[in-house]
Chains A and B, each alone.
Chain A
Amino acid sequence: MKRTIAYLSLLFILGVLLYIANPNYGLVFGPGGKEWLALRYTDNYYIQHGVQEVGGMNIVTDIVFDYRGYDTIGEATVLFTAIAGAIALLRPWRRDEA
C-alpha cells in the first residue's frame, strides 16, 4: 500500500517535470538571439567582461575561482570533509590492532 503510493507520487512528479520541460509551456532549450539576451544575460556579461575583469582566457575558471569563489571554497570543503570522513571510518578497529 505504502509502496503503491510512493510509486504513484514518483509518477506524478515525473509528469510535472515533463510538463515543465515542454518548450511550449516552460523551459526554453537552446535560446538564441533576443531570447539569449533576455534569459542568459548573466552568461552574456561573463563572456563579454570576463577577460578584462579577471584576466584568464578560460571563462569557466574565471567564474569558478573569481566571480563565484565562495562556491569553490564550499566545494573544496566538501572534498576535504569527504576524505576526512572516509579515512576516519576506514581506520582499523581497536581490537584488530592487538
Chain B
Amino acid sequence: MGLIVKTSARAIIPLIGIFGAYIVMHGHLTPGGGFQGGATIAGAGILFLVAFGLDEMRKHYNKNLYSALEGIGGLAFLGAAMLGMGVAFFYNTLWHNGPFFNGKPGTLLSAGFLPIMNLAVGLKVFTGLVSALTAIALYRRWKS
C-alpha cells in the first residue's frame, strides 16, 4: 500500500487494539465481550496485513506461537469453568466465596470468572482469526 495508508495504519492500529482490549476487559459491564472484542483486535491485525503487505506480516507472524495461544485461550476458559468443580461445572465460585473478582456489581473486579473467561475467549478469537486470515493470504496460487 501507499505511504498515506501505511502512516494512517501506524496511527490507527494501536487505537483499534486499545479499543478491542477495552471491549474485552469490560465484557461483564458494558455491551460486548470476548467474541466481539477479539474480532475487533483481529481487525487491527488484518489492517496490519493489508497495509504493510505479506512479507512484513511473515516477519511478525509466528505460526506456532499463535496456535499455542489459541489452545491456551481454550484451556483457560475450561479452567475457569472448572474452578467451582466442588459444587458443579460452571459454578461461579469466585463470585460466591472467592478471594478476588467478588467486588460490588458494576466495578471492574466483580462477576467472578466472567472477566477471566472474556480474556480467554478474546485471546482465542483474536489468534484464531489472525491465523486463518494469514493462512488465506499465504495461499497465493490463482491457477491450480
Contact = CB atoms under 8 A, between A and B. Distances in A.
Interface in B85-126: 89-90, 92, 95, 102, 105-106, 110-114, 117-118, 121, 124-125
Interface residues of A, number: 30
A79 B131 CA distance: 12
A60 to B, nearest CB: 7
Of B81, B110, B114, chain A has the most CB atoms within 10 Å of the CB of B114
Interface stretch (A5-13, A37-45, A70-78): A70-78
B135 A90 contact: yes
The DSSP consensus for interface residues of chain A is helix
A22 B113 CA distance: 42
A28 interface: no
A43 B80 CA distance: 25
Interface of A: 51-58, 60-62, 64-66, 69-70, 72-73, 75-77, 79-80, 82-83, 86-87, 90-91, 96
